[in-house]
Structure 1
Amino acid sequence: MSTRRSSRSRLGSEMVQVLVGKEQRDFRMHKKLLCRTSVFFRNHIEAAQQESKTTKSESEDSVLWLPEESPEVFELFIVWLYDRRAFQAYVDSAVEKASRNRHSPTSSPSRISPARHSPSRMGTTRHAETTDSERRALRWNLVRLHLFAEVIDLPALQDDSMDALQDLYLRCDWDMSPGFITFLYGDCSLDNAVRLRKWAVAMLAWTLHGGDGTSSEFEKLFAVFPKLKADYGMHFNKMAASKADLRIKNPQLRLPMNNLRSEERLFGFRQCSFHSHRSAVGEGVCPHLVTGQEDSDDMETGSTLMGEDIISEEEDEEKLEGEAGSSDSEVIITPVCDMETSFLDLS
């Protein structure tokens, strides 16, 4: 039995129709995978099935509607859910593209090109405006993916999106902007954005002590958002107690371990500093290094997040025996079929 056939058999044949956004963009996903992955989806699918029975609907698939979510963000979720390697490859590629022309995520077209009205520069300016828009779109999609992961209670997805956001800021050499702080403290609930706020405050301290000249704007935000001022004071005191130099301790920099030597701690943050499991891991190994890098056919989401195995021991042994003969093309086909023309394409 091929890897693709065995993977599909483990996923089952029942599908769920998910309508995303106010425009109700249509996605069809495996019911078994969604239910095993998230209690949020399991409860909503069961409720939809009960309603279908009550109304005697003839629809074969369960239907869910997520009116407040973005189709672009949901595409990212689907790729992550079905194929972690494809998700990581996309993020790496998108971050690489975003870093080629590094501007502030809040740059205006006039800042991108002062000579924008020159006929000889029109093509260059238009390209700069486009690439800057793509960078900002990628940043917001990663932020909203993190928030969506909190809503559906998927800590591993939260952590992956946080890692990607840190990488994006590092590669683009971005500072923390007043607009982003305003969004996190003015528009987001603490429950959904707690780790984003923690990272943003660390970024804010690094930005201000780097002397970028915007301290007056943030002083106004401290007055508007007392919680921001409290979080900043707590972070500042913690860094002072550890004798960290805020001018060089960069929150964009994820050091590839949690058990760091003294000199390493001066320049960046532990790998899991802004992860959902930070307090449980301590200085140990990030659990994503053990479970998060497995092949999509392992269906890691079911075994690690829900405490249940989608793959039985017998199936897993069968998979391992046939693994040597499997090819890279033998993977689960995700509902995002045409990646070249999807919303994920930033080319």
Structure 2
Amino acid sequence: TRSKSAPELAGPAYVKLLVGRDNQAFVMSRKVLASCQYFRKRLDAARVEVEKGHRFLVISLEDHSPDVFELFAYWMNERRNFDKFIDVAEADNSWKELHWDLVSLHLFAAQVGLPGMQDCALDAIQDVYLRCNWDINPKLINYIYTSCDPQESCRIRKWIVAMTAWTLGGVVSKDLSRKIQRLLEKCPDFWAEYHSHTRKMAQTGLEGHFKNPQLRLPSNNLRNEERQFGFRQCSFHTHRSTVGQGKCPH
């Protein structure tokens, strides 16, 4: 008997996406894009263009950043982490740009329902902070807690709170400490989540200045003594509640 397979999509096999104000073009497989519900809906309304004898569906994404979309397209095609982009940022000192692109990607992935991409982007953000030896960025706190949907940003919020506890628990400049304190006063959700986190840490006998949110333990075993110094590999992942103490699928 013939095995069942997904039905072939009618029409052009490739999609040209015009991203940003300058309409930077990205060409992607229609099948790959259709795996994301957000784009599957856009494909139904896409126009058809012919270029050099080849037919393309065309989607315009004027409000999106080409740099962020490059990360999106890479993950959709390769389903791999963003190490190569981190290496490039290290080579040309474009850390800040990559940092904000990854934040935008993480939020976009939440909006379009791609939890794997969301987790991968947050892993990369953690890696950027680790390589750069950064403290938590007050601008990131302010952006996430004043401009972003709480549900879409819930994973990065958890990480920000953990990073804040780790930063304030160590040697921190007076200027950074003052900025964080002002944000705690300004953002009620940030204040509530921060104090909930520190209370839970105290209840489990863990100290914030030792438990580094940039470090991800390869095991989710709560009894591992290394948990005093880092977080479980999927602590900030979308599948955390699903796997429990099981193995992180990433």
TM class, shorter-length: 0.7 to 0.9
Tell me how far apart the structure 2 counterparts of residues 154 and 205 of structure 1 sit (CA, whole Å). 29
| Conserved 8 A contact 2:17-2:25 | yes
| Conserved 8 A contact 2:17-2:60 | yes
Name the structure 2 match of 1:82: 77
Amino acid at match of 1:221: L
Tell me how far apart the structure 2 counterparts of residues 19 and 242 of structure 1 sit (CA, whole Å). 50
Tell me how far apart the structure 2 counterparts of residues 22 and 240 of structure 1 sit (CA, whole Å). 49
Q: Does 1:68 align with 2:63?
A: yes
| Conserved 8 A contact 2:234-2:240 | yes
Tell me how far apart the structure 1 counterparts of residues 88 and 234 of structure 2 sit (CA, whole Å). 22
Tell me how far apart the structure 2 counterparts of residues 152 and 46 of structure 1 sit (CA, whole Å). 16
Name the structure 1 match of 2:4: none
Using structure 2 for the length normalisation, give the TM-score.
0.87
| Conserved 8 A contact 1:91-1:164 | no
Q: Does 1:208 align with 2:208?
A: no
Name the structure 2 match of 1:120: none
| % identity of equivalent residues | 46
Specify which structure has the higher proportion of strand. Answer: 2
Q: Structure 1 regions of 5+ residues with no counterpart? A: 1-8, 99-129, 289-347
How far apart are residue 13 of structure 1 and its match?
A: 6.0
**What secondary structure, in the 3-state scheme, does the structure 1 residue paired with 2:200 have?**
helix
How far apart are residue 238 of structure 1 and its match?
A: 1.4
Tell me how far apart the structure 1 counterparts of residues 61 and 49 of structure 2 sit (CA, whole Å). 21
Using structure 1 for the length normalisation, give the TM-score.
0.64
Amino acid at match of 1:163: D
Work out the number of aligned pairs and report it: 236
| Conserved 8 A contact 1:182-1:221 | yes
Q: Which has the higher contact order (CA 8 A, sep 6+)?
A: 1
1:195 is aligned, of 155, 167, 174, to 155
Query: Would the alpha carbon gap of residues 94 and 258 (structure 1) be closer, same or farther in structure 2, given more than 3 Å must change?
Result: farther
Name the structure 2 match of 1:33: 32
Q: Does 1:264 align with 2:243?
A: no
2:193 is aligned, of 231, 245, 251, to 231
Q: Does 1:93 align with 2:93?
A: no
Amino acid at match of 1:78: A
Tell me how far apart the structure 2 counterparts of residues 236 and 73 of structure 1 sit (CA, whole Å). 33
Q: Structure 2 regions of 5+ residues with no counterpart? A: 1-7
Deviation sequence 1:145-199 (CA, Å, 0-9, x none): 1112112211000111111111111121110121111111122121221111110
| Conserved 8 A contact 2:219-2:232 | yes
**What secondary structure, in the 3-state scheme, does the structure 2 residue paired with 1:204 have?**
helix
Q: Does 1:22 align with 2:14?
A: no
Aligned pairs for 1:194-343 within 5 A? 194-213=154-173, 214-288=176-250
| Conserved 8 A contact 1:150-1:158 | yes
Tell me how far apart the structure 1 counterparts of residues 97 and 69 of structure 2 sit (CA, whole Å). 14
How far apart are residue 69 of structure 1 and its match?
A: 1.4
Query: Would the alpha carbon gap of residues 58 and 178 (structure 1) be closer, same or farther in structure 2, given more than 3 Å must change?
Result: closer
Q: Which runs of 4+ in 1 moved over 6 A?
A: none
Tell me how far apart the structure 2 counterparts of residues 171 and 198 of structure 1 sit (CA, whole Å). 20
Name the structure 2 match of 1:46: 44
Tell me how far apart the structure 2 counterparts of residues 58 and 203 of structure 1 sit (CA, whole Å). 48
| Conserved 8 A contact 1:17-1:26 | yes
Tell me how far apart the structure 2 counterparts of residues 94 and 283 of structure 1 sit (CA, whole Å). 35
Q: Does 1:174 align with 2:134?
A: yes
| Conserved 8 A contact 2:12-2:57 | no
How far apart are residue 88 of structure 1 and its match?
A: 4.0
Query: Would the alpha carbon gap of residues 221 and 88 (structure 1) be closer, same or farther in structure 2, given more than 3 Å must change?
Result: closer
**What secondary structure, in the 3-state scheme, does the structure 2 residue paired with 1:251 have?**
strand
Deviation sequence 1:98-136 (CA, Å, 0-9, x none): 6xxxxxxxxxxxxxxxxxxxxxxxxxxxxxxx72xx110
